[in-house]
């Protein structure tokens, strides 16, 4: 797949360089990307268009589809919101304070990235089931976590936490101490400095972290299905409904739901890019 | 507001950043803290602001011991080298910040804050930029905003940490003049830190020369330039040449020759002679008492000629300035005597014509036009 | 302007009597909180992390040993479990090198050259991160499934992709696609092209420049990317679940096997297999931290997964 690297047309396409291998590496990259990612994804688009608008609309507005999407987006939104609060707090503690075990804690934040989702799922189920580690203390209080939407939120908090922490943390590390000092010399007390100077500066990063955690949570499957109970119309998430439709060989149904989710996650991606572009333009840095 | 620093010592993890520093700053004065990096000048500035706590000693604002006052209570205006502007606030919001965060009772209404902000923008010559973000300003403009923000709280003292350090030479000179004007209009007691001697000498009423956590000398530009009181100040401010000499009976000797220089207060022993390369008189007729050497190197510097002389058997090199028409060729013998000089003995004693003879001092001032 | 007017530092010891230590309690640093506030914030963070992160991890190990070490070992020695372990290793052994080669090639093209559409290409590489794992599996079902062009054709040629190992490998490659590239691109962009240009001007071939100049520069970043890629490859559940067909002993990877055991109420076995995956996660975290700590400068460390 060696693309003729020396033709004049090529020179307009890329800046000349003495380093070889452009044709080979770019060719391989594009080919691999096309085969592994683009063609399969295009398949979803193609199958959706094949479906026809009426059929698509029927599936998309089907009660079970709508409630699955509602459950997925609702719980993801809630979990991302919780993660914003605690993620910023955890990042702050890790960046600003020195205490024994800080390094281990810092490393542990990545656990949800590294721990297979199925393992997280069954562990959370064991903890929050009515007879589980924590569940047995919540049950007498009338709080049911596992096998309810609340259980889904718990799993999604686990999954999404590192996204917020790891997005906010580097920006927090970059905060100029002098800016805080200046605020103090201007008479601001610590709370005012944090609320008016530090947190607004973190806003783009927090928004990005929120969007990443949300996007991941919407699509999450492994950690959720064990704790969700998967009751249709109550605690059935959209990715699970796709799996169910596939098992029923109802490919059209699976494809339609997948298409809706893809559109929404690409929209999320677009929003994240907008936030970053806006932040860069206005404040001269990326959150 | 008078500011008085009394016997302040500051250690960072046992490392002494300031060793027993005392300094009186008079109300309305524009004072420069000048020194190389690591001399403690920024630490001293931060101590005045209350951003650091002295290990020992006290800082007085007027008659009041400010040591127990927080940064917020001290009401100082602080300007950082890299401006430290709030980058997601507009210029107007930056300037108004100090007023906005005041407790309810003393906080001006927001219309008043806006008015004050635009007034200050006029003062710093940035009218009309209220709605801009710091990111949209040049370095010089940012520093003006930072100053306006510091002035907005009507500070008792204005503190500037290397205020022009991040700017290019042209802007730096402009802002320097402009800061002087602002100081003269507002009359704030102002302390600024710099490592640029030109900036300090040009701008400040008095210059505080610091080195290794100590104040070496405090004085006007003329005083620190013309009568440095330590080898460090001699070396740090302006150009200087030095020569190891011996003092015997109030006379300066180089090996077996007398230099014709008298330092009566200096005890016998080894010492070092300091003088400015341009502040020498050539001696053409014989040498009953002078410094003589052979030309080792000569280079032209603008309107003068710089010559390195090798002096005596040790071939110690000193640099002096000669008129451009002087035929200083390689190996030529040149004899001279410093006009204004100082000698520092190993025991710390100081001698020189300035200390012993005030007349020379004034004469020289008139001559150099300072 | 007389010399006497020069104010001088007081000589050492002259004013020793007036030197007074400043009390620590009176001074409040401008850029931090009070000790009490700090303690409360650290406490909340610790409690939250303990509840959300540590507790699940502990639960895995405790549940696995609930009925003793004997049961635990028995569960791990079961033939289906061993088959799942073998399959997981096999899948990772194929998927990771594939993405490694792709990552290096993509980073070389993107970081060492300026060309049109570079930003777009970079965005496309990130695409699999924003796709639900289930959809990542679904795309291959749609591509290779029955009733679709490719499916019957492959079947008639005796090639099985779906509900077989190739499908699992493909789905795994899809979900771990960006890891290596994403780590290497910013790293190699930071390093610029100076080293390679110098090598080539000294007469090195492209391969030599890569092998002797580029590779040593990126080796820790490469390892970092491979580490994360491998962790995800071995642990992937959603995508693999959709394409695997869940045939015990044949198309079951470890995470899928955990699910089957769990759904059969064989909790000890499910958690026993989970301990292996959790151990893998812990090893990954430790190695990752070591890399970040020791070679922080040689890793892009902007990885968002």
The CATH code of the domain that includes A57 is 1.10.3720.10
Alpha carbon distance B105, B57 (integer Å): 35
Contacts 24+ apart (CB under 8 A), B123-132: B123/B148, B123/B151, B123/B182, B123/B185, B124/B148, B124/B182, B125/B178, B126/B91, B129/B91, B130/B90, B130/B91, B130/B92, B131/B90, B131/B91, B131/B92, B132/B90, B132/B91
Domain ranges of chain C: 33-64, 69-298
Rounded mean pLDDT of A138-163?
94
C chain contacts of residue A113, beta-carbon cutoff 8 Å? 228, 231, 305
| pLDDT tens readout for residues A271-282 | 888 888 888 888
**Residue with structure tokens 């780590």?**
C183
| pLDDT for residue C4 | 37
Count Cα neighbours of C133 within 13 Å in the Cβ-side half-sphere: 25
Domain ranges of chain B: 3-226, 240-368
- A174/B contact by beta carbon, under 8 A: no
Tell me, yes or no, whether A126 and A65 share the same domain. Answer: yes
* Contact criterion met (CB < 8 Å) for A178 and B71: no
Best mutation target among C135, C176, C291 (most A Cβ atoms within 10 Å) is: C135
Tell me, yes or no, whether A273 and A179 share the same domain. Answer: yes
| Percentage of chain C exceeding pLDDT 70 | 88
Rounded to the nearest angstrom, the minimum Cα separation between B96 and chain A is 10
Q: Which residues make beta-bridge pairs with B161? A: B193
Query: Does C12 score more than 60 pLDDT?
Result: no
* Contact criterion met (CB < 8 Å) for A185 and B97: no
Across the interface, of C3, C20, C28, the residue whose CB is closest to B354 is C3
| pLDDT for residue C151 | 75
* Contact criterion met (CB < 8 Å) for A163 and C304: yes
Q: Give helix A251-283 / helix A63-96 axis angle, nearest 10°.
A: 40
| pLDDT for residue B269 | 87
Tell me, yes or no, whether A3 and A101 share the same domain. Answer: no
What's the order of all strands across the beta sheet hosting B64-65?
A: B15-25, B3-12, B56-61, B64-65
* Contact criterion met (CB < 8 Å) for A117 and C286: no
| pLDDT for residue A105 | 92
* Contact criterion met (CB < 8 Å) for B7 and C28: no
B259, B342 contact by CB (below 8 A): no
Confidence of residue C10 (pLDDT cuts 50, 70, 90): very low
Across the interface, of A92, A116, A258, the residue whose CB is closest to C135 is A258
**Residue with structure tokens 């109300």?**
B27
pLDDT < 50: residue spans in chain B? 355-370
Tell me, yes or no, whether A172 and A273 share the same domain. Answer: yes
Across the interface, of C131, C201, C234, the residue whose CB is closest to A265 is C131
| pLDDT for residue B361 | 38
Tell me, yes or no, whether A111 and A75 share the same domain. Answer: yes
Query: Residue C238 has which token pair?
Result: 């959603």
C chain contacts of residue A90, beta-carbon cutoff 8 Å? 45, 48-49
Q: What is the distance of C-alpha C192 from the center of its chain?
A: 25
| pLDDT tens readout for residues A20-39 | 889 999 999 999 999 999 99
Residue A24's domain comprises 1-51
Tell me, yes or no, whether A31 and A71 share the same domain. Answer: no
Alpha carbon distance A62, A70 (integer Å): 12
Query: Does C280 score more than 80 pLDDT?
Result: yes
Query: Residue B26 has which token pair?
Result: 């008079």
B295, B253 contact by CB (below 8 A): no
B chain contacts of residue A184, beta-carbon cutoff 8 Å? 51, 70-72
Distances (CA, A) of C192 to B54, C110, C226, C300: 46, 11, 22, 13
| Closest-CA residue of chain C to A154 | C52
- A173/B contact by beta carbon, under 8 A: no
Phi-psi region of B152 (alpha: psi -120 to 50; beta: other; left: phi over 0): alpha
Distances (CA, A) of C225 to B267, C11, C183, C247: 72, 61, 6, 31
A126, C59 contact by CB (below 8 A): yes
B chain contacts of residue A178, beta-carbon cutoff 8 Å? 80, 82, 84
Can you give the three-state secondary structure of chain B, one letter per residue?
CCEEEEEEEEEECCEEEEEEEEEEECCCCEEEEECCCCCCHHHHHHHHHCCCCCCEEEEEECCEECCCCCHHHHCEEEECCCCCCCCCCCHHHHHHHHHHCCCHHHCCCHHHHHHHHHHHHHHCCCCCCCCCCHHHCCHHHHHHHHHHHHHHCCCCEEEEECCCCCCCHHHHHHHHHHHHHHHHHHCCEEEEEECCHHHHHHHCCEEEEEECCEEEEEECHHHHHHCCCCHHHHHHCCCCEEEEEEEECCEEEECCEEEEEECCCCCCEEEEEEECCCCEEECCCCCCCCEEEEEEEEEEECCEEEEEEEECCCCEEEEEEEECCCCCCCCCEEEEEECCEEEEECCCCEECHHHHCHHHHHHHHHHHCC
DSSP state, residue C55: H
Across the interface, of B71, B217, B358, the residue whose CB is closest to C6 is B217
| pLDDT for residue B352 | 77
CATH classification (class only), B3-226: alpha beta
| Closest-CA residue of chain C to B8 | C19
A chain contacts of residue C138, beta-carbon cutoff 8 Å? 44, 242, 246, 254-255, 258
Best mutation target among B46, B86, B100 (most A Cβ atoms within 10 Å) is: B86
| pLDDT tens readout for residues C187-224 | 999 888 999 999 999 999 989 999 999 999 999 999 99
Tell me, yes or no, whether A127 and A259 share the same domain. Answer: yes
- B214/C contact by beta carbon, under 8 A: yes
- B55/C contact by beta carbon, under 8 A: yes
Best mutation target among A12, A20, A79, A116 (most C Cβ atoms within 10 Å) is: A116
Q: Give helix B169-186 / helix B139-152 axis angle, nearest 10°.
A: 20
* Contact criterion met (CB < 8 Å) for A251 and C270: no
Distances (CA, A) of B307 to B241, B310, B313, B315: 12, 10, 18, 14
A197, C31 contact by CB (below 8 A): no
Query: Does C235 score more than 80 pLDDT?
Result: yes
**Dihedral sign (CA C10, C11, C14, C15):** positive
A chain contacts of residue C285, beta-carbon cutoff 8 Å? 107-108, 110-111, 114
Tell me, yes or no, whether A57 and A72 share the same domain. Answer: yes
C chain contacts of residue A99, beta-carbon cutoff 8 Å? 42
| pLDDT for residue C11 | 38
Rounded to the nearest angstrom, the minimum Cα separation between A165 and chain C is 10
| pLDDT for residue B345 | 86
Tell me, yes or no, whether A27 and A90 share the same domain. Answer: no
Tell me, yes or no, whether A39 and A166 share the same domain. Answer: no
Confidence of residue C18 (pLDDT cuts 50, 70, 90): very low
C chain contacts of residue A108, beta-carbon cutoff 8 Å? 49, 53-54, 285
ipTM value, please give it. 0.89
| pLDDT tens readout for residues C156-182 | 888 888 888 999 999 999 999 999 999
* Contact criterion met (CB < 8 Å) for B86 and A201: yes
| pLDDT for residue A286 | 53
- Which CATH homologous superfamily contains domain B240-368? Nucleic acid-binding proteins (2.40.50.140)
| pLDDT for residue C13 | 38
Confidence of residue C19 (pLDDT cuts 50, 70, 90): very low
Selected from 3.40.50.1820, 3.30.70.260, 1.10.3720.10, 3.40.190.10, the CATH number assigned to the domain covering C69-298 reads 1.10.3720.10
């Amino acid at each position: 797949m060696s693309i003729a690297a020396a033709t004049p047309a090529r020179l307009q396409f890329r800046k000349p360089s003495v380093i070889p291998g452009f044709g080979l590496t770019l060719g391989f990259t594009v080919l691999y990307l096309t085969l592994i990612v683009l063609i399969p994804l295009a398949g979803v688009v193609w199958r959706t268009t094949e479906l026809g608008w009426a059929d698509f609309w029927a599936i998309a507005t089907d009660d079970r589809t709508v409630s699955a999407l509602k459950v997925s987006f609702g719980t993801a939104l809630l979990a991302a919101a919780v993660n914003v609060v605690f993620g910023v707090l955890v990042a702050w503690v890790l960046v600003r304070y020195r205490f024994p075990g800080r390094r281990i804690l810092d490393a542990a934040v990545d656990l949800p990235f590294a721990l297979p989702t199925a393992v997280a799922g069954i562990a959370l189920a064991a903890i929050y089931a009515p007879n589980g580690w924590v569940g047995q203390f919540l049950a007498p209080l009338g709080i049911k976590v596992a096998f309810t939407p609340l259980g889904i939120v718990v799993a999604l908090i686990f999954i999404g936490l590192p996204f917020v922490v790891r997005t906010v943390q580097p920006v927090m590390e970059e905060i100029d101490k002098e800016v805080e000092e200046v605020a103090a010399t201007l008479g601001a007390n610590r709370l005012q400095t944090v609320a008016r100077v530090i947190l607004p500066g973190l806003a783009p990063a927090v928004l990005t972290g929120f969007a990443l955690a949300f996007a991941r949570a919407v699509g999450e499957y492994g950690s959720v299905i064990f704790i969700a109970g998967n009751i249709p119309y109550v605690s059935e998430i959209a990715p699970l409904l796709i799996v169910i439709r596939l098992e029923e060989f109802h490919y059209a149904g699976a494809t339609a739901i997948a298409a809706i989710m893809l559109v929404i996650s690409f929209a999320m991606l677009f929003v994240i890019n907008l936030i970053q572009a806006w932040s860069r333009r206005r404040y001269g840095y990326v959150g | 507001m008078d500011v008085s620093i009394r016997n302040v010592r500051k250690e960072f993890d046992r490392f002494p950043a300031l060793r027993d520093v005392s300094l009186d700053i008079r109300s309305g004065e524009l004072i420069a803290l000048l020194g190389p990096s690591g001399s403690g000048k920024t630490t001293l500035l931060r101590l005045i602001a209350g951003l650091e706590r002295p290990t020992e000693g006290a800082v007085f604002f007027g008659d009041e011991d400010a040591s127990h006052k927080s940064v917020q209570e001290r009401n100082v205006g602080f300007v950082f080298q890299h401006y430290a502007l709030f980058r997601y606030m507009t210029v107007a919001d930056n300037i108004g910040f100090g007023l906005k965060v005041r407790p309810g009772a003393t906080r001006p209404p927001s219309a008043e804050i806006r008015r004050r902000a635009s007034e200050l923008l006029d003062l710093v010559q940035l009218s009309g930029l209220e709605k801009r973000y710091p990111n949209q300003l040049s370095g010089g403009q940012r520093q003006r905003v930072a100053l306006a923000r510091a002035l907005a709280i009507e500070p008792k003292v204005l503190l500037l940490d290397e205020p022009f350090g991040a700017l290019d030479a042209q802007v730096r000179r402009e802002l320097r003049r402009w800061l002087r004007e602002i100081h003269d209009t507002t009359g704030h007691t102002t302390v600024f830190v710099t490592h640029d001697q030109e900036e300090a000498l040009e701008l400040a009423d008095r210059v505080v020369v610091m080195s290794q956590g100590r104040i070496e000398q405090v004085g006007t530009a003329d005083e620190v330039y013309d009568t440095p009181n330590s080898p460090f100040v001699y070396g740090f401010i302006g150009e200087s040449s030095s020569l190891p000499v011996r003092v015997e009976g109030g006379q300066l000797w180089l090996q077996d020759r007398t230099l014709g220089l008298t330092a009566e207060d200096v005890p016998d022993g080894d010492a070092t002679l300091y003088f400015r390369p341009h502040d020498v008189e050539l001696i053409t007729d014989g040498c009953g008492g002078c410094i003589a050497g052979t030309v080792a190197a000569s280079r032209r510097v603008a309107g003068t000629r710089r010559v390195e002389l090798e002096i005596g058997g040790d071939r110690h090199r000193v640099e002096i300035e000669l008129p451009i028409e002087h035929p200083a060729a390689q190996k030529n013998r040149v004899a001279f005597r410093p006009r204004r000089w100082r000698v520092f003995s190993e025991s710390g004693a100081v001698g020189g014509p300035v200390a012993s003879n005030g007349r020379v001092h004034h004469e020289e001032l008139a001559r150099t036009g300072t | 302007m007389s010399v006497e007017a020069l104010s001088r530092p007081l000589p050492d010891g002259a004013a020793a009597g007036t030197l007074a230590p400043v009390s620590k309690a009176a001074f409040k640093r401008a850029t931090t909180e009070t000790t009490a506030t700090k303690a409360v914030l650290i406490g909340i963070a610790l409690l939250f992390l303990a509840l959300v992160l540590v507790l699940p991890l502990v639960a895995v190990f405790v549940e696995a040993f609930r009925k003793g070490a004997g049961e635990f070992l028995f569960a791990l020695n079961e033939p289906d479990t061993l088959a799942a372990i073998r399959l997981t290793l096999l899948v990772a052994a194929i998927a990771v090198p594939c993405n490694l080669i792709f990552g290096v090639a993509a980073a070389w093209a993107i970081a060492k050259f300026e060309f049109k559409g570079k930003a777009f290409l970079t965005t496309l590489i990130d695409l699999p991160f924003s796709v639900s794992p289930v959809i990542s599996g679904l795309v291959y079902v749609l591509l290779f499934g029955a009733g679709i062009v490719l499916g019957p054709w492959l079947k008639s040629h005796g090639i099985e992709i779906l509900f077989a190992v190739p499908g699992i490998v493909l789905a795994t490659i899809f979900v771990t696609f960006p890891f290596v590239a994403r780590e290497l691109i910013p790293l190699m962009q930071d390093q610029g092209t100076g080293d390679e240009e110098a090598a080539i001007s000294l007469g090195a071939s492209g391969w030599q420049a890569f092998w002797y100049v580029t590779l040593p520069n990126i080796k820790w970043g490469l390892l970092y990317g491979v580490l994360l890629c491998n962790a995800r490859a071995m642990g992937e559940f959603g995508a693999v679940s959709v394409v695997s067909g869940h045939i015990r002993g044949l198309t079951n990877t470890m995470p899928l096997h955990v699910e089957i055991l769990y759904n059969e109420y064989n909790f000890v076995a499910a958690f026993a297999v989970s301990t292996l995956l959790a151990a893998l996660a812990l090893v990954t975290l430790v190695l990752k931290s070591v890399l970040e700590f020791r070679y922080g400068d040689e890793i892009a460390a902007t990885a968002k997964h």
